[in-house]
Amino acid sequence: MFDTNLLLIWLLFSSVGMWYFIYWKKDQNYIALTSWIILMVFPYFITNIYYLIILWVIFLIIPFIIKW
């Protein structure tokens, strides 16, 4: 069964992923689109909370580091 903490983290990641989707629709920034897809999909495959948080921070920062 899933842990409630894991479900709350999934909800948080999906919310940030939706923000990247809105950002992509406004600016057509394809790095934000890639981050959106990754942030929406990878929490379903990673069940360790610590790995999930580390990957989330990485994909959260990537659109701000790499600009077109």
Task: Note the pLDDT of residue 68.
Answer: 54
Task: Note the pLDDT of residue 38.
Answer: 82
pLDDT digits (tens, 9 = 90+) for 34-43: 877 887 787 7
Task: Note the pLDDT of residue 2.
Answer: 63
How far is it, in rounded angstroms, from Cα 63 to Cα 68? 9
CB contact at 8 A, 17 and 56: no
Per-residue DSSP letter, 2: -
How many C-beta neighbours within 10 Å does residue 25 have? 12
pLDDT profile of the chain (68 residues), mean per 10: 74 78 77 80 80 85 77
Task: Note the pLDDT of residue 1.
Answer: 53
Q: What is the pTM of this model?
A: 0.65
State which amino acid sits at residue 38: I
How far is it, in rounded angstroms, from Cα 32 to Cα 17? 9
